[in-house]
Structure 1
Amino acid sequence: MHIAVFSQYHTNPDCPATSRHYSLLAHIARQHRVTLITTNTWEPQRLTHEYPWLPEGVEMLAADIPYHNRMGVAARGWAFVQYMAYAWRQGRRIPRPDVIWGISTPLSAAWVAGKVAQQRRVPWVFEVQDLWPTFPIEMGAVRNRLAQRQLYAAERRLYEHAQHIITLSPGMTDYVRRLGLGEEKLSTILNGTDLDQVARATPEAVASLRQQHGLAGRPVVLYAGTFGRANDIPTLVQTAEALHRLQPDVVWLFMGHGYYEPLIREAAARCPAIRLVPPQPRHQVFTWLAAADVSVVSFVHLPVLDTNSPAKFYDSLAVGTPVVVTNPGWTKQFVEEHRCGWYVPAEQPRALAEHLHRALSAKAELRAAGQRGQQVAQQLFDRQQLAAEVQRVLERAAG
């Protein structure tokens, strides 16, 4: 079977980013022909070269289109348009696929996948990574009411025309279900994590990292990910400073890059508890997460963000580090049901600092929560099992 994959951003484990589709494509390409239509945005950002850029068996067509987190709305929009034009041309030129797999974000990548599928008269599967256009609209990036209506109409048509829809969280599935889509068209396949890379976070590797960075014997809180506008970074900075006053020996690590990096850098200069850690390749992130006592998964208070499926949530639990989440969606329900973390409402730095102080003071409960999280991660988060689910969806869609 020939599968054409439309995904604007391809990464591998050498990149400072999640590599969900690297794992999924590696699994699927063992049995099927895979053509990936993407961009080379992330390839220059590789921090190591331990992994091939492409999984074995995957054919790639990649456009040279720059993109980064600090881009404004207009620049991002232009990058999306460029990819759409490139993907449309390549999608019509490649040998006719049996099924097309269109991956958002952005929504435009899925839109062009649907259009190529229609033109080539093949079924297509729509994977929803984030709820677009709801996310940029709630973030204030699209203010024009007419444009909002047009984007929502385009989104609805994509859901209706797709042979099948994959979402990355129960919250996303509920959103799509409310649009009137039948259950037979919906599959929830979690973001998940790479358990083979989790295994790199051995006790020896963790102890070495803590010793190397002066963390031995100190409580550690970690935020690992993008310093974006949606991630509530100003609240975390205020929390770290408040926590330092409550518990001076705590170290708060901010690992990543993005819009709020200057804010964190300034805070680190004035507060000894705050440290800015450069972005790490994905395969090394797990040791950092395992070195932390608590991982924070934070977002601003917007309803659309209650549905998301952040990689750091899965990665943290997989290495046995409990998480604090700040959105009252499915992640809150998950950590409370499995007792592997805690919920603190978004944008409340004092409440978050006090909760972290209590959690860090209860060492036995921290360890127990981490163990429970690790157990559930082994059962539910393995990307090899999730890849097999995606493969079955694509095979059924292709008939």
Structure 2
Amino acid sequence: MHIAVFSQYHTNPDCPATSRHYSLLAQMARKHRITLITTRTWETQRLTQAFPWLPEGVEMRAAAVPYENKMGVARRALSFGQYAAYALREGLRIEKPDVIWGISTPLTAAWAAAQVARMRRVPWVFEVQDLWPAFPVAMGAVPNGVARRGLYALEKSLYQSARHILPLSPDMTAYVQGLGIPPEKLTTSLNGTDLDLAAAATDAAVAALRQQQGLAGRQVILYAGTFGRANDMPTLVAAAELLAARHPAVTWLFMGHGYDEPLLQAAAARCPAIRLIPPQPRHAVFTWFRLADVAVVSFLGLPVLDANSPAKLYDSLAVGTPVIVTNRGWTKELVERHGCGWFTPAGEPTALAALLADVLSNPEQLRAAGAAGQQVAIHEFDRRSIAAVMQQVLEQAAR
């Protein structure tokens, strides 16, 4: 069958991004024809050339629409609108698909998918990556009450018009069901991880990276991901400085880029225990995660963020590195139930520093938590299994 995919941000494993859909599309394109309607936002940000830009069998229509985490609200809104207009036009030009797969964020990408599905009289499936508009509203990006009500009405109408909905976490699924959407219309599809790429993080690769980075004899804490406003970077910086004063053998690596990069640059300049690492291609991040003794997955203490599905959580557990989470939602329940990590409240640097000091002083506890997490990743987070479920949902929707 012919699947049209509406996704504003396409990445591949050469990019400093999670590349979820590259993995899913690669598997589904073996059986089905796929047309991807996207943008060239990430194509210029490839750090290596180890992978083809598109999986074999995927056709692409791409707009030149810029986007970056540092953009303000107005500039982001323009980017979202430009892609939605392009996707609507191209969706009406391509050969009629059997089913449409619309991916948010942003919500405007899903809106374009829904409009094309309605006009071409085909079913569509809605993948919910983040809760929109709840997330931008909680971050203060939609101060106008009329605009908020309009966005919430749009959100609910999209849930109602979709043939099936795939939220990326159990808490997202519960949120959507709470809006009156029947449970049989919902399938939780975790973000997941690439176990084949994780396998490249061998003992030899980790030893070479440790030597290259001058980290012999040091314990390593890793934060890898966007330095965004939602990621609570000031708390991590404060915790890192507290820990450095008491445990001089610990190095905290911050790998990525984003809004709070100047804050981290200033912290690294005054505190030798804090080190900034440039963004790494997807296929290389697993060696960094395995190098670390523990990874931190942090967000602001907002209820809407408790539902998210952070890639760094899956990638860390895939290589046997335990995690510390600051969300009170499903990730807290996951790490506590499986014994693969720990929880500390968001916005409390003293508590985070104390927890890190405790876990780093117990190597056996770290090893046991890492081993437990790796088993969870193998059985629950494999994107090959996730792709199979996604394919089944799309095939059933088309029928």
Q: TM-score, normalised by structure 1?
A: 1.00
2-side partners of 1:227 and 1:22: how far apart?
23
1-side partners of 2:184 and 2:216: how far apart?
52
In structure 1, the residue matched to 2:200 is: 200
In structure 1, the residue matched to 2:212 is: 212
In structure 2, the residue matched to 1:281 is: 281
Task: Output the amino acid matched with 2:136.
Answer: P
In structure 1, the residue matched to 2:86 is: 86
Q: Give the aligned CA root-mean-square deviation in angstroms.
A: 0.4
Task: Output the amino acid matched with 2:361.
Answer: S
Matches within 5 A, 1:314-393: 314-393=314-393
Q: CA deviation at 1:206?
A: 0.5
Q: CA deviation at 1:306?
A: 0.2
Q: CA deviation at 1:200?
A: 0.6
Matches within 5 A, 1:87-166: 87-166=87-166
Is residue 257 of structure 1 aligned with residue 266 of structure 2? Answer: no
Q: CA deviation at 1:366?
A: 0.3
In structure 1, the residue matched to 2:245 is: 245
Task: Output the amino acid matched with 2:389.
Answer: E
Q: CA deviation at 1:249?
A: 1.0
Aligned-partner SS, 1:174: helix
In structure 2, the residue matched to 1:55 is: 55
1-side partners of 2:89 and 2:192: how far apart?
32
2-side partners of 1:344 and 1:378: how far apart?
25
2-side partners of 1:118 and 1:27: how far apart?
27
1-side partners of 2:379 and 2:33: how far apart?
29
1-side partners of 2:232 and 2:48: how far apart?
29
Q: CA deviation at 1:77?
A: 0.4
Aligned-partner SS, 2:187: strand
Runs of 5+ consecutive residues of structure 1 not aligned to the other structure: none
1-side partners of 2:354 and 2:248: how far apart?
13
Identity of aligned residues (%): 69
1-side partners of 2:382 and 2:288: how far apart?
20
Is residue 167 of structure 1 aligned with residue 156 of structure 2? Answer: no
Q: Deviations along 1:310-361, whole A, 9 cap, x unmatched?
A: 0000000000000000010000000000000000000000000000000000
Aligned-partner SS, 2:15: coil
Aligned-partner SS, 1:188: coil
2-side partners of 1:268 and 1:334: how far apart?
32
2-side partners of 1:70 and 1:252: how far apart?
23
In structure 2, the residue matched to 1:232 is: 232
Q: CA deviation at 1:32?
A: 0.3
2-side partners of 1:217 and 1:192: how far apart?
32
Q: CA deviation at 1:216?
A: 1.4
Q: CA deviation at 1:6?
A: 0.3
Q: How many residues align?
A: 399
Q: Structure 1 residue runs of 4+, over 4 Å off?
A: none
Q: CA deviation at 1:381?
A: 0.7
1-side partners of 2:336 and 2:214: how far apart?
33
Q: Deviations along 1:212-266, whole A, 9 cap, x unmatched?
A: 1011121100000000000000100000000101211100000000011111011
Aligned-partner SS, 1:11: coil
Aligned-partner SS, 1:148: helix
Aligned-partner SS, 2:352: helix
Aligned-partner SS, 2:227: coil
Q: CA deviation at 1:205?
A: 0.4
2-side partners of 1:213 and 1:113: how far apart?
45
1-side partners of 2:78 and 2:106: how far apart?
12
Q: CA deviation at 1:183?
A: 1.2
Is residue 303 of structure 1 aligned with residue 303 of structure 2? Answer: yes
